[in-house]
Amino acid sequence: MAILKIARMGHPVLKRVAEPISDPTSAEVRRLVSDMLDTLEDADGTGLAAPQVHVPRRIVMFYVAGTRARRAAAADEPAKAQGPSGTAPPTSMEGKDEGEDEDEPEVPLTVLINPLVEPLSDETAVGWESCLSVPGLAGQVPRHRAVRYRGLNLRGEEIVREARGFHARVVQHECDHLDGVLYPQRMSDLSTLAFTSEMAARTGAPVREE
């Protein structure tokens, strides 16, 4: 088990385009993914991309709790920086429109190697995001509401899925890391960028971080 150091905004590894993986089944990739899983669990996050642990390769991982599970967790836990999915008004990462408030199924922990994301329509939704590489902050980010994504698993098999709402948001956020893009660069209204501790102090509600 190894918990890796997480790169923070400003580190060059977060700005570059990551390299593809040539052999998803290699021992090297398996070891990196294992360490990334430990790191993600330790940080209590929802998603992680390899550049965030200083490895400029095209690997992402994420987990999406079902909507009910996220709401329950947010209600139970004290204000604490963790996980991508806040539920507190106005700090919910579920987004402020009905599209991301629909009950969503849980998405099991997924490792994607060399992922590709394509929008399924021009429709976008605005929702709260935060990032382990941008600690302490959250902001509202427009994202495609529905996407199709594909990538390889550790056995080299292709995964193809369609995602909507928060699931689609998490995938877009993580895959952006592979192209050197952090969520503040996607924001259309920088006035919503805020310290989660300030938001929690004002709403008394928990704020979660990815």
Enter the tokens of residue 163: 């995602």
Interface contacts to Ni ion, rule CB under 5 A: 131
Closer by beta carbon to Ni ion, 65 or else 131: 131
Which one of 174, 198, 209, 210 is the catalytic residue? Answer: 174
**Burial of residue 14 (number of CB atoms within 10 Å: 0-12, 13-18, 19+):** buried
* Shortest Cβ 23–Ni ion spacing (Å): 26
> Which residues make Cβ contacts (< 8 Å) with residue 114, sequence separation at least 6?
20, 21, 24, 58, 151, 152
* Shortest Cβ 25–Ni ion spacing (Å): 26
* Shortest Cβ 138–Ni ion spacing (Å): 11
* Residue 158 annotated to the active site: no
- Alpha-carbon distance of 33 to 82, in angstroms, equals 20
* Shortest Cβ 62–Ni ion spacing (Å): 10
> Which residues make Cβ contacts (< 8 Å) with residue 27, sequence separation at least 6?
none
Closer by beta carbon to Ni ion, 88 or else 132: 132
* Shortest Cβ 131–Ni ion spacing (Å): 3
- Alpha-carbon distance of 35 to 61, in angstroms, equals 12
Closest listed residue to residue 122, CA positions, set 90, 144, 100, 152: 144
Distance from CA of residue 77 to its chain's centroid?
20
Asked if residue 90 has a cis previous peptide bond (ω within 30° of 0), the answer is: yes
Closer by beta carbon to Ni ion, 100 or else 176: 176
- CA distances to 78, 159, 175, 210 from 17, rounded to whole Å, are 37, 22, 11, 21
Closer by beta carbon to Ni ion, 25 or else 193: 193
Residues belonging to the active site: 174
